[in-house]
């Protein structure tokens, strides 16, 4: 019997989630794989259990549906073997804001934000009680860059970064590790699914390299891992500037520049 925690991975049927599954299987972790496409999950589960000798369960769930989310929440709450949650399932969309429909935005926000909060919320009390556990949230560099022109998608990914930073502040003192991973364009199906031709992108990272880099950050217990960022000092400067802002926010005093009408 393995003493390594089981890993529950959302969006594990393909792309980044499937590679996480493969890498954690190779490390000897049992897996719980979640996505909508059961046939693909079953094929991956069979391959990984044969290759690595780990136990792999699958849960078919559409994480935009509250009822399906409840099933995954229950598993996270009740299965004490699960010690790592990877909130990876996500989608992008093409087009400008005025071309995107309310329904498409609602689905995107449900999958990219609500599902993560609900799953983290289901598992965090158990992790805190155990004094250990890890939550990996897949954000995106798009969440740092309104300039990239993917406004709603980027906003969901900024949410994921903030969520991770906040959760880390709350949970790290109780022994729970939280990591935000910010990939840049990576070769997966996400582009085709969103109706974007990957060939139009100037640069694309290979998915195995992305996940291996993210795991280096995981093993180092980094809070924010940005595999494509060449100069780490850039992130430190940005976060330092943000923290500098905090001491300047004085709730009881209107800033001088707003104390005059002109």
**Residue 153 appears among annotated catalytic residues:** yes
Binding range to ligand NAP, per CB under 6 A, among 36-44, 95-103, 213-221, 250-258: 36-44
Instruction: Tell me the closest approach of the beta carbon of residue 124 to ligand NAP, in angstroms.
Output: 20
Binding range to ligand NAP, per CB under 6 A, among 14-22, 94-102, 118-126, 165-173: 14-22
User: Any contact of residue 154 with ligand NAP (CB under 6 A)?
Assistant: no
User: Any contact of residue 217 with ligand NAP (CB under 6 A)?
Assistant: no
User: Any contact of residue 35 with ligand NAP (CB under 6 A)?
Assistant: yes
Pick the closer one to ligand NAP by CB: 12 or 171: 12
Q: What is the largest CA-CA distance in the chain?
A: 72
User: Any contact of residue 14 with ligand NAP (CB under 6 A)?
Assistant: yes
Beta bridge partners of 60: 35
Instruction: Tell me the closest approach of the beta carbon of residue 253 to ligand NAP, in angstroms.
Output: 40
Catalytic pick among 20, 153, 177, 258? 153
User: Any contact of residue 62 with ligand NAP (CB under 6 A)?
Assistant: yes
User: Any contact of residue 17 with ligand NAP (CB under 6 A)?
Assistant: yes
Options 52, 113, 140, 164; binder of ligand NAP; rule CB under 6 A: 140
User: Any contact of residue 211 with ligand NAP (CB under 6 A)?
Assistant: no
Pick the closer one to ligand NAP by CB: 40 or 174: 40
Is the distance from CB of 183 to CB of 205 less than 8 angstroms? yes
How far is it, in rounded angstroms, from Cα 183 to Cα 198? Answer: 15
Pick the closer one to ligand NAP by CB: 100 or 174: 100
Options 7, 44, 144, 190; binder of ligand NAP; rule CB under 6 A: 190
How far is it, in rounded angstroms, from Cα 64 to Cα 71? Answer: 12
Options 161, 186, 211, 218; binder of ligand NAP; rule CB under 6 A: 186
Residue with tokens 């890993």: 7
Is the distance from CB of 142 to CB of 148 less than 8 angstroms? yes
Pick the closer one to ligand NAP by CB: 138 or 161: 138
Question: Binding residues for ligand NAP, per CB under 6 A?
Answer: 11-17, 35-37, 40, 61-64, 88-91, 111, 138, 140, 183, 185-186, 188-190, 193
Name the residues annotated as catalytic: 153
């Amino acid at each position: 019997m393995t003493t390594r925690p089981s890993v529950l991975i959302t969006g594990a049927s393909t792309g980044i989630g499937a590679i996480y599954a493969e890498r954690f299987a190779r490390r000897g972790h049992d897996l719980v794989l979640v996505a909508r496409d059961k046939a693909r999950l079953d094929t991956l589960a069979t391959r990984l259990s044969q290759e690595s000798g780990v136990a792999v369960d699958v849960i078919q769930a559409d994480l935009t549906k509250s009822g399906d989310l409840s099933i995954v929440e229950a598993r996270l709450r009740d299965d004490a073997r699960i010690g790592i949650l990877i909130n990876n399932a996500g989608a992008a969309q093409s087009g400008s804001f005025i071309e995107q429909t309310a329904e498409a935005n609602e689905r995107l926000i449900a999958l990219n934000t609500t599902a993560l909060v609900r799953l983290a919320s289901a598992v965090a009390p158990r992790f805190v009680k155990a004094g250990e556990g890890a939550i990996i949230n897949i954000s995106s560099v798009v969440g740092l860059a309104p300039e990239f022109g993917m406004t709603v998608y980027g906003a969901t990914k900024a949410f994921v970064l903030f969520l991770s930073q906040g959760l880390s502040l709350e949970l790290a003192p109780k022994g729970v590790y939280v990591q935000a991973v910010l990939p840049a364009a990576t070769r997966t199906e996400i582009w085709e699914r969103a109706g974007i031709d990957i060939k139009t992108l100037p640069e694309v990272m290979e998915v195995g390299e992305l996940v291996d880099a993210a795991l280096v950050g995981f093993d180092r217990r980094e809070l924010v891992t940005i595999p494509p960022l060449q100069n780490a000092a850039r992130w430190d400067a940005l976060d330092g500037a943000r923290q500098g802002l905090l001491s300047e926010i004085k709730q009881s005093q209107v800033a001088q520049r707003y104390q005059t009408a002109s």
